[in-house]
């Protein structure tokens, strides 16, 4: 057997502690599959006094993460998080020193991935980030390997375990958003800053990385249109269900006439579609390729052990000297594709309008859609409460975002309108 691969882990929180634990628990099988063992020689934490769930016997504990870039370390594993600060400084220092780097940090890769990949190439080291997208699902390996022969047409995914856990738990247990978010934090799914989860930022980070692999572009986080789930109510979850849909926070990337459209927002998904069945903190990624057709991969998208599984898969590839460019193409070959505006998006829409229950209200609404050439699939008045008006649910045929935006603006300004319209996109 070859010499052990010597690693240093920065951060022993949810993912770091689970990584150390699994490396110990499954040491024999990991060594057998790599032809060498993986040995943790050092680690760093912010608070050395904190009680850890994992034993640190035989591991050098550093107070300064940068001290992990040491002569006895082959791979630096960055499990701190954050797009800047110590995480970025550590990854840059490690790559510049010729160390391999494994990270679960999607914020860092989405913002600085192309530059870090160029640095890794220059030093002929590996930069690997399987755990950064969809937790334990090996989607990056699949895109780099089994799907690599395809022209990818569309990538769509449930990419945030916290949001999927919140949406499915609200629906199933009929509980409040805030209460369910607190549960997700306790279970170790949520980011240090949970607004990253619920406002869609974390999904946007992962989508930018997936789009990079799918379309051969540098990750462009600034181009992702991003809406979260903060304003979703049980009312819309229930109405959607009554029309045969579930609401999911999706990340979607497509090429539209040579421009890249990347969007993150809640969507109505038909109940029979694979993505609608994804429950709890699970994630799923759906890739449409020209040769393979549609492939859907589902699995645990968050949590220590599942994410550690992906981290260790990267370490095992390094141990086996399986070398590849971080984004499949060399950094110099990553294209610059112009971002597409959301206004070009074509699809069906769900709208919930709160209006006065008065003669002519439906005619006013129908007129607003007709004026924008939007064809209505169904229009239903669901409840009438004397003091709160009527709830009118409209499902449209395929139309475009700009037409819907104009129609909604017009309806919101009508005297019959009692509350801001709720507008959700429907995805096949
Ligand atoms: P976490 O539980 O908050 O752990 C972070 C670790 O980093 C802790 O050990 C902390 O030290 C250490 N740390 C924080 N700030 C530091 C600083 N300034 N200097 C040195 N060490 C510092 O986070 P996590 O959930 O494990 O996430 C780690 C990374 O994995 C993030 O990039 C996250 O986005 C990503 N990720 C997480 C999941 C998940 O399900 N949790 C899934 C996929 C990817 P102390 O322990 O002393 O506080
Ligand atoms: N906070 C993230 C989530 C962790 O909920 O999916 C996994 O990236």
Q: Which ligand 2 atom lies nearest to the CA of residue 133? A: 8
E strands in 58-111: 60-62, 75-78, 100-103
Domain 5-132 has CATH 3.40.50.620: no
Q: Whose CA is nearest to atom 48 of ligand 1?
A: 46
The domain locations on the chain are: 5-132, 139-301+336-342, 344-426
Are residues 217 and 334 in contact, defined by beta-carbon separation less than 8 angstroms? yes
Domain 139-301+336-342 has CATH 3.40.50.2300: no
Mean per-residue pLDDT over the chain, rounded: 95
- What integer is the mean pLDDT of 117-126? 96
Q: Which ligand 1 atom lies nearest to the CA of residue 15? A: 26
Question: Which H helix or E strand runs over 247?
Answer: strand 245-256
Q: Is the pLDDT of residue 208 over 80?
A: yes
Q: Is the pLDDT of residue 387 over 70?
A: no
Ligand 1, pocket-test mutation among 51, 81, 138, 202, most atoms within 8 A of CB: 81
Q: What tokens were used for 232? A: 């979703």
Ligand 1, pocket-test mutation among 43, 79, 85, most atoms within 8 A of CB: 79
What amino acid positions are annotated as catalytic residues? 206
Q: Whose CA is nearest to atom 38 of ligand 1?
A: 302
Q: What tokens were used for 175? A: 């509980």
E strands in 47-163: 60-62, 75-78, 100-103, 127-128, 152-158
| pLDDT band of 194, cuts 50, 70, 90 | confident
| pLDDT band of 188, cuts 50, 70, 90 | confident
Q: Is the pLDDT of residue 351 over 70?
A: yes
pLDDT of residue 382: 79
Q: What is the DSSP letter of 46?
A: S
Are residues 394 and 368 in contact, defined by beta-carbon separation less than 8 angstroms? no
Task: Give the closest ligand to the alpha carbon of residue 192.
Answer: 1
| Residue 49 three-state SS | coil
| pLDDT band of 190, cuts 50, 70, 90 | confident
| CATH topology (fold) of 344-426 | Alpha-Beta Plaits (3.30.70)
Please give the C-alpha separations between residue 205 and each of 323, 421, 425, in angstroms, as whole numbers. 24, 28, 21
pLDDT of residue 20: 97
Burial of 222 (0-12, 13-18, 19+ CB in 10 A): exposed
Please give the C-alpha separations between residue 62 and each of 4, 13, 22, 48, in angstroms, as whole numbers. 21, 15, 21, 8
For residue 301 and ligand 2, the question of a CB distance below 6 A is answered with: yes
pLDDT of residue 191: 82
Ligand 1 centre distance from Cα of residue 46 (Å): 10
Q: Whose CA is nearest to atom 7 of ligand 2?
A: 302
For residue 189 and ligand 2, the question of a CB distance below 6 A is answered with: yes
Q: What tokens were used for 147? A: 């799907």
pLDDT digits (tens, 9 = 90+) for 1-39: 789 999 999 999 999 999 999 999 999 999 999 999 999
Q: What tokens were used for 354? A: 């709160």
**C-beta atoms surrounding 409 within 10 Å:** 12
Of 89, 87, 82, 79, give the one whose Cα is nearest residue 12.
79
CA 309 from centroid of its chain's CA atoms: 17
Q: Which ligand 2 atom lies nearest to the CA of residue 206? A: 8
- What integer is the mean pLDDT of 210-236? 95
Ligand 2, pocket-test mutation among 14, 180, 197, most atoms within 8 A of CB: 197
* Helix, strand and coil in the chain, % to nearest 5: 40, 25, 35
| pLDDT band of 144, cuts 50, 70, 90 | very high
pLDDT of residue 384: 60
pLDDT of residue 49: 86
Half-sphere exposure of 387 (CA within 13 A, CB side): 0
Over the range 293-303, which residues count as b (16 or more CB within 10 Å of their CB) and which as e? eebbbbbbbbb
Ligand 1 centre distance from Cα of residue 298 (Å): 24
Of 396, 422, 399, 287, give the one whose Cα is nearest residue 345.
399
* CA gap 311, 398 in Å, rounded: 41
pLDDT of residue 385: 61
Q: What tokens were used for 255? A: 């090429």
pTM value > 0.85: yes
Ligand 2 centre distance from Cα of residue 86 (Å): 20
Over the range 125-135, which residues count as b (16 or more CB within 10 Å of their CB) and which as e? bbbbbbbbbbb
pLDDT digits (tens, 9 = 90+) for 40-83: 999 999 998 888 888 888 899 999 999 999 999 999 999 999 99
* Ligand 1, residues at Cβ distance < 6 Å: 11-16, 44-47, 50, 65, 79-81, 86, 104-106, 131, 135, 188-189, 191-192, 302-303, 307
Ligand 2 centre distance from Cα of residue 194 (Å): 9
pLDDT of residue 76: 98
Q: Is the pLDDT of residue 123 over 80?
A: yes
Burial of 203 (0-12, 13-18, 19+ CB in 10 A): buried
**C-beta atoms surrounding 369 within 10 Å:** 23
Ligand 1 centre distance from Cα of residue 299 (Å): 21
pLDDT of residue 51: 87
Q: Which ligand 1 atom lies nearest to the CA of residue 108? A: 32
Are residues 130 and 265 in contact, defined by beta-carbon separation less than 8 angstroms? no
Are residues 319 and 38 in contact, defined by beta-carbon separation less than 8 angstroms? yes
* CA gap 11, 150 in Å, rounded: 37
Task: Give the closest ligand to the alpha carbon of residue 308.
Answer: 1
- What does the DSSP assignment read for 333-392? G-B--PBPPGGG-EEEEEEEEEE---TTHHHHHHHHHHHTTPPEEEEEEEEEETTTEEEE
| Residue 294 three-state SS | strand
């Amino acid at each position: 057997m070859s010499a052990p691969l010597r690693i240093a882990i920065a951060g022993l929180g949810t993912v770091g502690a689970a990584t150390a634990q699994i490396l110990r628990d499954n040491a024999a099988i990991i060594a057998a599959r790599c032809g060498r063992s993986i040995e943790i020689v050092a680690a760093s934490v912010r608070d050395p006094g904190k009680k850890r769930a994992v034993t640190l016997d035989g591991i050098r504990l550093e107070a300064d993460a940068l001290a992990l870039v040491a002569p006895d370390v082959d791979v630096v594993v960055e499990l701190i998080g954050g797009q800047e600060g110590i995480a970025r400084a550590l990854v840059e220092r490690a790559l510049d020193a010729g160390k391999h780097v494994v990270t679960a940090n999607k914020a860092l890769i989405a913002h600085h991935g192309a530059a870090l990949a160029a640095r890794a190439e220059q030093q002929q080291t590996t930069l690997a980030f399987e755990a950064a997208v969809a937790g334990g699902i090996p989607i990056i390996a699949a895109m780099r390997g089994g799907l690599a022969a395809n022209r990818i047409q569309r990538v769509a995914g449930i990419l945030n375990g916290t949001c999927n856990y919140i949406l499915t738990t609200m629906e199933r247990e009929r509980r409040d958003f805030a209460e369910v978010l607190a549960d997700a934090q306790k279970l170790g799914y949520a980011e240090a800053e949970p607004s990253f989860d619920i406002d869609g930022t974390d999904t946007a980070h992962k989508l930018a990385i997936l789009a990079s692999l799918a379309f051969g572009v540098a990750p462009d986080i600034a181009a992702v249109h991003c809406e979260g789930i903060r304003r979703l109510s049980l009312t819309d979850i229930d109405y959607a269900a009554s029309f045969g849909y579930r609401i999911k926070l999706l990340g979607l990337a497509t090429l539209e006439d040579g421009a890249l459209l990347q969007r993150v927002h809640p969507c109505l998904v038909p109940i029979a579609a694979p993505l609608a069945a994804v429950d709890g903190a699970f994630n799923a990624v759906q890739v449409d390729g020209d040769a393979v057709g549609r492939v859907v991969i589902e699995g645990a998208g968050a949590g220590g052990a599942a994410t550690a599984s992906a981290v260790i898969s990267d370490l095992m590839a390094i141990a086996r000297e399986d070398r590849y460019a971080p984004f499949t193409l060399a950094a110099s070959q990553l294209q610059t594709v112009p971002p597409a505006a959301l206004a070009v998006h074509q699809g069906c829409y769900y709208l919930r309008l709160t209006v006065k229950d008065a003669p002519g209200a439906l005619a006013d609404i129908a007129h607003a859609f007709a004026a924008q050439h939007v064809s209505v699939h169904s229009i239903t008045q669901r409840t009438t409460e004397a003091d709160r008006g009527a709830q009118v649910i409209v499902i449209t045929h395929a139309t475009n975002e700009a037409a819907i935006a104009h129609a909604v603006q017009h309806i919101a300004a009508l005297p019959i309108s009692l509350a801001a319209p709720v507008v959700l996109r429907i995805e096949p």
